[in-house]
Amino acid sequence: MFKNVFGSGFLVRTSHVILTWVITLILFLHDTELRKQEETGQLVQPVLFVLLVLLSVLLYFAVSLMDPGFILSDDTDLQFMLGVTEEQQDMIPPATKSLRQRRCGHCLLQQQPMRSKHCQTCQHCVRRYDHHCPWIENCVGERNHRWFVLYLAFQLLVLLWGLRIAWTGFTYVPIWHQWLRTNGVLTAVTMLLALLSLIVLLLLGSHLYLVSLNTTTWEFMSRHRISYLKHCGADENPFDRGTFQNLWGFFCVWGTVVWEQVYFKEGSDQV
């Protein structure tokens, strides 16, 4: 289920954790409301903030080390066929049957499930491939996509809360160079938090939008090169079951989805 902690992404993960706790320490050391509450014995907000930071770090490791849905062999891959009976296969027109017989030219899978893609970085095919994220040094796929979105939500909450705390720590000094010397570190932290908040907000918003359409980043960006989407119009998506069903299926339905069934049920009349 989880990858090796000391794999290729060890440096990235270590840097992320160090940066997170260094910023947290700076917010406690400067004259912010967090430090003032700690000194006066009002520990509710400081404890909640630290717990939220800890939870975001744990979610980061869970997403970065989790198996995103690697397809390791043809034997395990054949399970995607279990939901399609022989009678259903006979009902599918010959032109659409050929779409299902996809072979990966890199790991030589004889049957590559629909919506999967080979990741050149991870060297594996990934079910319901979304993208390879250098931030977590892992693919985002069928098994960890919802955890990735959840991580983004918690990370955004931590960043915005940290931005608010940093804002309360600035000390007024009338002379510019003295102000910069007094608030220089806090200014750098605030700018970094603001930049990261904007990036995470855009990422979270884009992923929630794509999830509501039941499409992936790869399908959205490269639909003109994907065989099972070439015949669809610009606004057509054979996997779209409505916003509510898409969100429910993404966040609440666990297990491997047979996308061939969804595709041929919804899109067989269009092919």
Provide the annotated active-site residues: 133
**Residue 208 burial by Cβ neighbours in a 10 Å radius (0-12, 13-18, 19+):** middle
E strand segments, the chain? 70-71, 117-119, 124-126, 131-133, 138-140
**Within 13 Å, how many C-alpha atoms sit on residue 250's CB side?**
28
Tokens matching residue 217: 């980043």
Distant-in-sequence, close-in-space partners of 60: CB < 8 Å, separation ≥ 6: 13, 16, 17, 136, 151, 155
SS3 140: strand
Q: Which amino acid is located at 24 in the chain?
A: T
For residues 174-189, b (16+ Cβ closer than 10 Å) or e, as one string?
Answer: eeeeeeeebbeebeeb
Distant-in-sequence, close-in-space partners of 192: CB < 8 Å, separation ≥ 6: 23
Q: In the beta sheet, which residues pair with residue 75?
A: none
Tokens matching residue 155: 């990370």
